[in-house]
Structure 1
Amino acid sequence: MEVRKKTRIAAMADIHVRVSDKGLLRGIFEELNEKADVLAICGDLTDTGDEEEAVVLGEELKALRIPVVGVLGNHDYEKGRQKIIKQILTEHHMTILDGESIVLADVAFAGVKGFGGGFDQYMLSIFGEDMMKQFVHEAVNESLQLDRALTRLEQECPHLPKAVLLHYAPIKDTVAGEPEQLFPFLGSSHLAEPLTRRQVSIAFHGHAHGGTLSGHTTSEIPIYNVALPVLKREKEGQSYLIVEV
């Protein structure tokens, strides 16, 4: 039986591209052509959710010769132009996942933005005012979207390792370092449920700038917080993390 060659995934998040950032990422992307097989960017691709920022990122992506996949983050929704941002980046050959899946370099990727709600015994419940119920429902719906995408991958490519991209965190470990009062707005344990149920190999997220680089679910699935500030702090100024899957 032929042994599967491991895939090198380069992951980053919270790059917050601004209109004035032309040329800043090009060197990093050129470097990744030699170091990785796939680039994953886990949300907050733009700084203020403006399509002009997406155009700048799109131009930077031209330096890549490897496939790039990602999800949107809360900043990309700021101005309600997330569909335009997705379209611009898709036209620049970036795959944006929002409940979808794709196979790249022999790894099956699924992704959603995710949402908040808190973790473990402190996770918010669907109870009380309608606004509170809507908040919790958003995290539940994101989790269900992710589960459906992973189910499709199980059916279509059962032997490939599965990697999940999120913006919000699925576990508390990787937001540790942020003020605890912010935890309900940084992620939700609902997002961890499909990871365990569908036996995911690895997951990446961002959003928690003051969080921790790595942790794992209760079922020992490795989770990485690849927000740019976390990488620069814990990886000696590096702008990406490379993991073999």
Structure 2
Amino acid sequence: MKKITLAALALSVWALSACDKFEYSPYEIRLKDDERQLNQKNIERIQQLNIPRNSQITFALISDTQGFYKDTEAMVAHLNKQNDVQFVLHNGDITDFGLLKEFRLINERLGKLKVPQVTVIGNHDAVNNGKQLYKEMYGPYDFSFTAGHSKFIFINTNGWEFKGEAPDLDWLDRELQDRDEYDQVFVLSHIPASDASFGSPEKLQRYHDLMEKYKVSMSIHGHGHSFDAYQLREGGTRYLNIGDAADKEYVIMRATNTGVTFDRVKIEGELGFK
């Protein structure tokens, strides 16, 4: 009888494990095949759009979905009504505590977007074992892709969580060296270069210098949980901070060969900012 009971228990554990319903620990990393390398999969979807170099690119910007599950659902439903949006870019803090369950809960909601979605790592995504989880689920911390006339560069700027190893500004400099090949270049990260957790004052200054040197079209960030748009000097790179999901808002950006405009969109209505 004892042997039968132990065998039944072992079989139950195996069955639960096999169907991914048994959680050994909230810190575990056990991904399904369709949960791996999501950024690269979505970049391939964007590239399959074959956006012409002489046409407008329209994309949406969201940030800080961390724990705001109902708000994220509402935002996704609203975005799905925007028929001209070609893809969505997420400026980090997908999660609050970097746990697999959180990544999955948000991915279930963002997975309902009708268009591809690409994300950069946030500081909350890098706590606990979130660094490894992000890398396995989304891919490299620093990466770029091109679409039509534009280049999109994503860089990890979570200096505190990566003990000063981020941001890798040498890598960013190399990524920007082909600037002249594109009409528009966008740099996206979570923490803006106005926050102490970005890094030393020297790193902050070098980042701003790179933006000006290469005439970056927009430097786009999250982290602050509120919308802000500004320039450090007239005619220079424009900086944009995206509000969080709890604000029930996002930004739609339109890039042409000659310029970039954007609208701040509230789910209850639209606030036009150009």
- Structures share fold, TM-score greater than 0.5: yes
Separation in 1, partners of 2:217, 2:140? 18
Of 183, 189, 203, 2:219 maps to 203
Q: Which residue of 1 aligns with 2:136?
A: 87
Q: Which residue of 2 aligns with 1:12?
A: 62
Separation in 1, partners of 2:72, 2:191? 27
2:83 is equivalent to residue 49 of structure 1:
no
* Number of aligned positions between the proteins: 198
2:175 is equivalent to residue 138 of structure 1:
no
The AA in structure 2 aligned to 1:58 is N
Separation in 2, partners of 1:202, 1:213? 13
Whether the 8 Å CA contact 1:18–1:56 is kept in 2: the answer is: no
Q: Deviations over 1:40-97 (max 9, x none)?
A: 1111011111111111222223222322222101000011322323433x4xxxxx66
Q: Aligned in 2, Cα 1:22/1:71: closer, same or farther, shift over 3 Å?
A: closer
Q: Aligned in 2, Cα 1:13/1:21: closer, same or farther, shift over 3 Å?
A: closer
Q: Aligned in 2, Cα 1:81/1:161: closer, same or farther, shift over 3 Å?
A: same
The AA in structure 2 aligned to 1:109 is F
Q: Which residue of 1 aligns with 2:232?
A: 217
Residue correspondence of structure 1 range 1-245 to structure 2 within 5 A? 4-17=54-67, 23=73, 25-32=75-82, 34-88=83-137, 90=138, 98-115=141-158, 137-138=164-165, 141-151=167-177, 153-154=178-179, 158-170=181-193, 172=194, 183-185=195-197, 188-209=204-225, 213-218=228-233, 220-228=236-244, 232=247, 238-245=248-255
Choose 1 or 2 for highest CA Rg.
2
Structure 2, gaps ≥5 residues long: 1-51, 256-274
SS at match of 2:181: coil
What's the % identity of the aligned pairs?
Answer: 21
Whether the 8 Å CA contact 1:12–1:228 is kept in 2: the answer is: yes
The offset of 1:143, in angstroms, is 2.1
CA RMSD of aligned residues (A): 3.2
Separation in 2, partners of 1:244, 1:21? 24
Runs of 4+ in 1 over 6 A off after TM superposition: 18-22
Greater helix share, structure number = 1
Q: Aligned in 2, Cα 1:3/1:109: closer, same or farther, shift over 3 Å?
A: closer
SS at match of 1:242: strand
Structure 1, gaps ≥5 residues long: 91-95, 118-133, 173-182, 233-237
Whether the 8 Å CA contact 2:53–2:148 is kept in 1: the answer is: no
The AA in structure 1 aligned to 2:192 is A
The AA in structure 1 aligned to 2:251 is L
Separation in 2, partners of 1:202, 1:22? 25
Q: Deviations over 1:6-39 (max 9, x none)?
A: 212211211114688884554144234x242221
Taking structure 1 as the reference length, what is the TM-score of the superposition?
0.67
